[in-house]
Amino acid sequence: MDACVRVFAIALLVGQMGMARAADGIAQGKQECRSRAEPGSDAAACAAENSNRPNGDTEAVEMTVGSPPMQSDDTGTPGPGNWEINLGMYGDLTGGERLFDFPTIDINYGYGESVQFAFTLPVVFTQQAQPEANGIMRKVDGWTLGQSQVGVKYRFYDDKEMGLSFALYPQIQFRTPGAGKSVPGGNTVLAVPMLATWEFERVSVTANAGIEAAAGKHFTFASVGIGTRLTDRVALLAEVVGENLNAADEKVVLFDIGIRRKITDRQSVSAALGRDLDVGGDQHEHTYFAIAYQMLFGQH
């Protein structure tokens, strides 16, 4: 219960900061646009500015906190007939253990305006310190296919004027056929998160909350993230994530900070670095990192 209170207290603080920044951003954005436009031609001036972005870009970098490189998911979908492909590397470092997902292949397909089908498959490399008979620790390396994950995202509410949207994103993880017995996790996992995204002129707020079931146990999780553009091509992202919040000995609360760099309208690179803030029981604190390349193609 204490972990839940901490996560949602942090979420409330971040949300309030986002609302204040958003209000300032909206007012500033409108004023900047008007100051460069002829009387009565505000929209035309802003449209012209967008059309003159470098490399033929029509939109600024996506500033919404989402995966990749963050752990929170946003409500966005690729759109009808479009594909979103993410190639990534993820690391989990703690004590004498190292775990790397590389490459992680994440394939998403848009069905209609509000539905996304997703499939993810990582190749997992592990490095563990194991004691020998003489008591000396030695490092043991190994690799295998990781857990496959499939999911369907459905955005059931989308108020474009307010910039507020909600989605459900049920997902299931399962052992990949042919994967080794040493694959981390190994159990079938069902997760059902509720997603929310609130977009403003200069700030975007993302929140997740849901339940996860595995091996007869149920765990709750929640997260909140805020993103903003530093330039038209670079966005700064941050999030607080709580996992296993209903299990005192297994809970984890972590903080991630990330950056997204737009290459073109259809390509971007991103990276994130995270650290546990609070862990339950005798768990060790972990350090996390993520690097990802995203490409979009289809009907757009």
Task: Note the pLDDT of residue 178.
Answer: 79
**Residue holding tokens 């309208």?**
265
247 class by beta-carbon count within 10 Å (0-12 exposed, 13-18 middle, 19+ buried): middle
Task: Note the pLDDT of residue 132.
Answer: 64
Task: Note the pLDDT of residue 69.
Answer: 93
Which DSSP letter does residue 184 get? S
CATH number (domain holding residue 265) = 2.40.160.40
Q: Can you give the residue range of the structural domain that contains 252?
A: 2-297
Dist. CA 208–CA 74, nearest whole Å: 8
Task: Note the pLDDT of residue 185.
Answer: 62
- CB of 166 closer than 8 Å to CB of 130: no
- Nearest Cα neighbor of 156 from 141, 171, 142, 166 is 166
Q: What is the pLDDT of residues 101-128, one digit of tens each?
A: 999 999 999 999 999 999 999 999 887 6
Dist. CA 56–CA 22, nearest whole Å: 28
Task: Report the DSSP pairing between strands 164-168 and 97-111.
Answer: unpaired
Q: What is the pLDDT of residues 74-103, one digit of tens each?
A: 999 999 999 999 999 999 988 667 889 999
The segments of the chain whose pLDDT lies below 70 read 1-57, 95-96, 128-140, 181-185, 300
Task: Note the pLDDT of residue 33.
Answer: 40
Domain count within the chain: 1
Q: What share of the chain is helix, strand, coil (3-state, %, to 5)?
A: 15, 50, 30
